[in-house]
């Protein structure tokens, strides 16, 4: 066994290492929470809130249907224009008869070494979309 001073130094190093690991786990869980909040807001057609889930940073990007939407301005453009105007005809919030349901799965979250940035990649997100007036085989004529 080493001296008491040596053991104290080793324990301090171990505590520092474990503290960093616990913080990284907490950071991943915080990002995962935002990821699932994003899915909730999207499903409820709350597109202003959806764009609020993204950082105002030049490296912020959304990849959608072969396009890359860059920065917070690009994110707002795709959600507040393309989705809000195209999917819900400008209506903000839940629309009667419209079902949007994202199952958020297989998220891969990477936290930078210094803990200041995160990257989320979705392995799989299943979107169920439908309206009874257009898609229901049970509707009456």
Hunting for tokens 């049970």 — which residue is that?
138
Please tell me whether residue 98 adopts helix, strand or coil conformation: coil
Per residue in 56-88, pLDDT (tens digit) is: 888 888 888 888 999 999 999 888 888 787 777
Please tell me whether residue 90 adopts helix, strand or coil conformation: coil
In the structure, what pLDDT confidence band is assigned to residue 136 with cuts at 50, 70 and 90?
A: very low
Beta carbons of 107 and 32 less than 8 angstroms apart: yes
Per residue in 96-114, pLDDT (tens digit) is: 777 777 777 778 899 998 9
Entry pTM: 0.73
Cα(109)–Cα(107) distance, rounded to whole angstroms?
Answer: 6
Ordered structural domains, the chain, with CATH: 4-132 (3.10.450)
Nearest Cα to Cα of residue 55 among 80, 74, 83: 74
Backbone angles phi, psi at 125, to 5 degrees: -140, 115
């Amino acid at each position: 066994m080493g001296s008491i001073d040596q053991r104290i130094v080793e324990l301090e190093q171990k505590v520092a290492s474990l503290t960093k690991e616990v913080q990284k786990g907490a950071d991943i869980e915080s990002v995962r929470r935002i990821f699932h909040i994003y899915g909730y807001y999207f499903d409820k057609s709350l597109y202003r809130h959806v764009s609020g889930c993204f950082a105002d940073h030049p490296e912020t990007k959304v990849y959608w249907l072969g396009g890359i939407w860059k920065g917070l301005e690009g994110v707002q453009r795709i959600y507040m224009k393309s989705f809000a105007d195209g999917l819900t005809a400008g209506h903000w919030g839940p629309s009667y008869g419209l079902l949007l349901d994202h199952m958020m799965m297989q998220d891969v979250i990477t936290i930078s070494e210094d803990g200041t940035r995160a990257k989320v990649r979705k392995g799989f997100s299943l979107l169920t979309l439908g309206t009874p007036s257009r898609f229901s085989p049970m509707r009456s004529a």
